[in-house]
């Protein structure tokens, strides 16, 4: 579908690929549109919902400035998926053993590996850049316990919240491994640090913003280049984390499926990040807050909830969306609201047929707390085409 809603009362237009936007999210989008450095317009994906700092599902092109809170604290959060050379006929009748195998290999929540599990080459490559960042901003390290050990041992770990690892079947019954994670504790520390630094740097000018979470660094200002360096490092850390985690998962599953091969990597893509791109005649900074790049021919991953379908998609390079599409289904209610409304039995019923946790610890991730993924996909048919449809049979949550 084409753009469904157009907001024009701000300094820049807001073009929205759905007609279902909660009032709080509309207010956030209006606040964003008031900023003087928005380039052309703001594009909003059909999974839009209220976020912290900026609206989840928004694509924000800026000239000469970047908003750290729009990028967020899970810098570089995104997806990775691979297709295996085995199919549904190779699966055991009871999938609990597969879930247990993955859970034994990958720490979840706040946990980390008990020893350095990432490849030494990955650690060394990241260490050089981080040392340079910490040399200028030592407070980042003081925001974590045992920071050096933590960032290394969290490489190849899942985290909590909406992060997950899934074993899925596609339309041909081929098996896929799909995962969702980001830059873990070190990315969170970098994000929090620079969000607060942007507020301090703006000083009294912060009062002129419609929301203090929209504090920004201007190009040429004291800490602009430092933030660019730090956010690019965190994005690389997130990419490496997913790559290392996928390697560990595949190693563990070889006990279940001896001799399988990885036949296709769909993509390793960010959906909370900033990049330098060319749109509407100018080079700009594009912040995708809960959105993935969908340039012409580019592959991406759009997951549903833990009880719904997910999709491997190919971008159509739509200019009005800044070559973007949604990063998932999008929430319809907050985590606290979901916990108040639903029970363990609701989780069990809504995840029928999926081998996963069904206890009170995952109620906030219940499928009913998310938008209908088929509706979300229909609203962005102008932005992407579906290459594969995946249905999870095993889901590991933090």
What are the pLDDT digits (tens) for 59-111? 999 999 999 999 999 999 999 999 999 999 999 989 999 999 999 999 999 99
Confidence at 176, pLDDT banded by 50, 70, 90: very high
Confidence check: pLDDT of 265 > 80: no
| pTM, entire model | 0.97
CATH of the domain at 16: 3.90.1860.10
Average pLDDT over residues 37-50: 98
Over residues 201-210, the pLDDT tens digits come to 999 999 999 9
pLDDT given for residue 52 in this prediction: 85
The overall average pLDDT reported for the chain is 96
Considering only the C-alpha atoms of the chain, give the largest distance between any 2 of them, rounded to a whole number of Å.
Answer: 64
What b/e readout covers 164-194, taking b as 16+ CB neighbours within 10 angstroms? bbbbbbbeeebbbbbbbbbbbbbbbbbbbbb
3-state secondary structure of 270: strand
Confidence at 1, pLDDT banded by 50, 70, 90: confident
Confidence at 115, pLDDT banded by 50, 70, 90: very high
Domain count, the chain: 1
Q: Where are the alpha helices (DSSP H) in the chain?
A: 23-33, 68-71, 96-105, 120-136, 139-142, 147-153, 184-202, 224-253, 335-341, 344-350, 373-379
On whether residue 365 sits in a domain, the answer given is no
Indicate the annotated binding residues for GMP: 162-166, 271-272, 303-306, 310, 327-330, 397
On whether residue 167 sits in a domain, the answer given is yes
CA distances from 27 to 30, 52, 140 (A): 5, 12, 32
Confidence check: pLDDT of 199 > 90: yes
Average pLDDT over residues 313-337: 97
Place of tokens 């570089």: 76
On whether residue 337 sits in a domain, the answer given is no
Catalytic residues: 327
Confidence at 238, pLDDT banded by 50, 70, 90: very high
pLDDT given for residue 299 in this prediction: 96
On whether residue 315 sits in a domain, the answer given is yes
Confidence at 304, pLDDT banded by 50, 70, 90: very high
Confidence check: pLDDT of 264 > 80: no
Indicate the annotated binding residues for Mn(2+): 74, 163, 180, 271
3-state secondary structure of 371: coil
123-132's contacts with Cβ under 8 Å and 24+ in sequence apart are 123/152, 123/155, 125/240, 126/151, 126/155, 126/233, 126/236, 126/237, 126/240, 129/229, 129/233, 129/236, 130/186, 130/233, 132/229
pLDDT given for residue 317 in this prediction: 98
Average pLDDT over residues 16-28: 97
On whether residue 36 sits in a domain, the answer given is yes
On whether residue 171 sits in a domain, the answer given is yes
On whether residue 390 sits in a domain, the answer given is yes
Indicate the annotated binding residues: 74, 162-166, 180, 271-272, 303-306, 310, 327-330, 397
pLDDT given for residue 160 in this prediction: 95
Q: Which domain holds residue 138?
A: 5-332+370-397
pLDDT given for residue 53 in this prediction: 78
High-pLDDT (> 90) share of the chain, %: 95
On whether residue 342 sits in a domain, the answer given is no
């Amino acid at each position: 579908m084409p753009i469904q809603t157009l907001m024009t009362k701000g300094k820049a237009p807001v073009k929205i690929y759905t007609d279902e936007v909660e009032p709080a999210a509309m207010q956030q989008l209006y606040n964003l549109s008031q900023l003087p450095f928005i380039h052309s317009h703001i594009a909003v994906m059909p999974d839009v919902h209220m976020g912290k700092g900026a609206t989840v599902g928004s694509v924000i092109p800026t000239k000469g400035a970047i908003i750290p809170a729009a990028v967020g604290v899970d810098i570089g959060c995104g997806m990775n998926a691979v297709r295996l050379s085995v199919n549904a006929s190779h699966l055991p009748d009871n999938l609990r053993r597969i879930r247990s195998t993955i859970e034994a290999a990958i720490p979840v929540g706040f946990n980390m590996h008990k020893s350095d599990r990432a490849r030494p080459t990955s650690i060394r490559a990241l260490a050089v850049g981080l040392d340079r960042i910490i040399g200028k901003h030592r407070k980042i390290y003081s925001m974590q316990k045992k920071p050096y050990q933590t960032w290394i041992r969290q490489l190849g770990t899942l985290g909590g919240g909406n992060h997950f690892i899934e074993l899925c079947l596609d339309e041909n019954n081929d098996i896929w491994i799909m995962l969702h994670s980001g830059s873990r504790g070190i990315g969170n520390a970098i994000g929090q640090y620079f969000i607060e630094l942007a507020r301090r740097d703006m000083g009294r000018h912060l009062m002129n913003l419609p929301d203090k979470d929209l504090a920004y660094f201007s190009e040429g200002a004291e800490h602009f280049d430092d933030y660019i360096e730090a956010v690019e490092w965190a994005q690389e850390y997130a990419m490496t984390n997913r790559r290392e985690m996928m390697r560990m998962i595949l190693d563990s599953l070889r006990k279940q499926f001896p001799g399988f091969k990885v036949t296709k990597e769909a993509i390793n893509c960010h959906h909370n990040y900033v990049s330098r791109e060319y749109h509407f005649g100018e080079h700009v900074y594009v912040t995708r807050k809960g959105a993935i790049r969908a340039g012409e021919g580019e592959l991406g991953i759009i997951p549903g909830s833990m009880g719904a379908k997910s999709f491997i998609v190919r971008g159509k390079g739509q200019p009005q969306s800044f070559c973007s599409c949604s990063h998932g289904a999008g929430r319809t209610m907050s985590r606290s609201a979901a916990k108040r409304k639903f029970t363990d039995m609701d989780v069990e019923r809504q995840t029928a047929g999926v081998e996963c946790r069904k206890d009170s610890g995952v109620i906030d991730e219940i499928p009913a707390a998310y938008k209908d993924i088929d509706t979300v996909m229909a609203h962005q048919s102008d932005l992407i085409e579906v290459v594969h449809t995946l249905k999870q049979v095993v889901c590991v949550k933090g």
